[in-house]
Amino acid sequence: MIHAARFSGRHTPAKPSQAAKGYSFGRKVGKWLIVLVLAAALVYTAKQAISFWQPLPNLPNQNNYPIGTNYKDRINLLLVSFEGEEVSWLGVLSISTDQKILFLPLDPGLTANLAGSRGEYRLASAWKLGNLDGGEGMNLLWDSVSRELAVPIDGYIATTDWPVVAARFGGDAPSILATVTSPFFLAKALVTDPWPNGATASLSRWEIWSRLTTLGDRDLESLSLSGVTTSVAVGGQGVPAIEAESFDSRLGPLFREAGIAKAHSKVSIVNASGIPGAAVELARYVRNLGGEVIGIESAATPAKKSTILDHTKGSLSSRLAPLIRADVTRDTQALRSDLEITIGENAQGVF
């Protein structure tokens, strides 16, 4: 018997087998899995890209305050490591756009006049003392290091990686910098959160990455406090302390910023803060940055607010203003002083 379908012009397809159905379903599932994996990868990449531009977490209880950073010439970073609640390692990394990179290790046991009129303590003690007073540990450590060196500190990076790297490579600055700028270390920065190994910082990953990658094969000078320290008596024992005049004459000029040194602005300072010696301390910053101090005096009456009258277009006032919490007024008058600075009572948290 001949089936009518043979003469109808139509073809009756065979039903797919059970195996074919399973294969088709598997392909669909596979495609969806690929889509989901790609979407997850895209979301993860986007999240990491966004976090790369965001600030790293600050240390617990840290209260931020505005810092003026002149990235054009130089940025000074405080590197910190902790063992439990103790500061175990300190260093200052100074990155310049056209001069040598500087690395200065600091003994946490150095005796220092801590910022905020806290008195003489070990430099590392600033962390604990600050935290006892409103969670200002990193701020007090940051300010105290800056005050000892009379050099602006623009940011910090705190991580347990610093002493590990130092121990692995003998503790010399070139090896440390070669490690943190290696492709592996920077790749790690892109995929770990926070960066790296629980790091905290006042900078974003991008700022850290962009600064460290500029080092490359740049000349690096490893500095030492040998010859610029003196011994002071604390508890019947002699402990090391930085001798300001020796530091400023031997190491201070290395931290000069090209634009400021070229302008060589003349600066007069009036101390209206009620803090003895505040003008002398600020004068150290002026000289170490590349300016010239032509006058220091004390005001007959105190001023509430620090001010800077800047008669130039230079960057010195931008570097000094955050140190004394000053308002800056600019004009083009030709006077004996290029900068007229008044230190007010609001600077008492610094000196």
Kindly state the average pLDDT of the residues 125-148: 87
282-308 residue pLDDT tens: 999 999 999 999 999 999 999 999 999
How many beta carbons lie within 10 A of that of residue 322, not counting itself? Answer: 16
- How many domains are contained in the chain? 3
**Any domain includes 61:** no
**Three-point CA angle 163, 164, 168, nearest 5°:** 115
Task: Kindly list the distances between the CA atom of residue 312 and the CA atoms of 201, 286, 323, in Å, as whole numbers in the listed order.
Answer: 33, 15, 19
Residues 40 and 142 in one domain: no
* Structural contact between residues 239 and 109, judged by C-beta atoms closer than 8 angstroms: yes
Residue 250 domain-assigned? no
| Together in a domain, 136 and 168 | yes
Task: Characterise 150 by phi-psi region: left (phi > 0), alpha (psi -120 to 50), beta (else).
Answer: left
User: Is the domain of 79 the same as that of 218?
Assistant: yes
Domain boundary among 222, 245, 279: 222
1: burial class by Cβ within 10 Å (0-12, 13-18, 19+)?
exposed
Please give the single-letter amino acid code of residue 61: N
Is the pLDDT assigned to residue 110 strictly greater than 90? yes
Same domain for 49 and 116? no
If asked whether residues 108 and 49 sit together in one domain, one would say no
- Indicate whether 170 and 260 sit together in one domain: no
Confidence check: pLDDT of 61 > 90: no
Q: Do both 140 and 213 map to the same domain?
A: yes
**What is the domain range of residue 305?**
256-347
Domain stops at, among 222, 239, 270: 222
pLDDT, tens digit (0-9, with 9 covering 90-100), for 17-53: 555 555 565 666 677 777 777 777 676 656 655 555 5
Tokens standing for residue 200 = 């905290």
**Nearest residue to 266 (alpha-carbon basis) of 233, 236, 291:** 291
Contacts of 50 (CB under 8 A, 6+ apart): none
Which range, of 69-73, 86-90, 299-303, averages the lowest pLDDT? 69-73
Provide CB contacts within 8 A for 276, sequence distance 6+.
Answer: none
Q: In what order do the strands lie in the sheet with 74-83?
A: 200-201, 155-158, 74-83, 86-96, 101-106, 220-222
* 7 within domain boundaries: no
Q: What is the pLDDT of residue 216?
A: 55
Judged against a pLDDT cut of 90, whether residue 194 lies above it is answered with no
pTM to 2 decimal places: 0.77
Q: Give dist(CA 287, CA 270) in Å, integer.
A: 16
Report yes or no: 109 and 88 within 8 Å, Cβ to Cβ: no
**294 in the same domain as 197:** no
Following CA atoms 222, 227, 230, 236 in sequence, which dihedral angle do they give, to the nearest 10 degrees? 80
Higher pLDDT, 29 or 349: 349
More confident of the two residues 234 and 295: 295
Can you say how many angstroms the Cα of residue 88 is from the centroid of all Cα atoms in its chain? 18
What is the reported pLDDT for 66?
A: 43
Whether 148 and 288 map to the same domain: the answer is no
Question: Three-class SS string for 64-80?
Answer: CCCCCCCCCCEEEEEEE
Q: 142 and 33 share a domain?
A: no
φ, ψ (nearest 5 deg) of residue 329: -115, 130
- Asked if 94 and 126 sit in the same domain, the reply is yes
Q: Same domain, yes or no, for 78 and 198?
A: yes
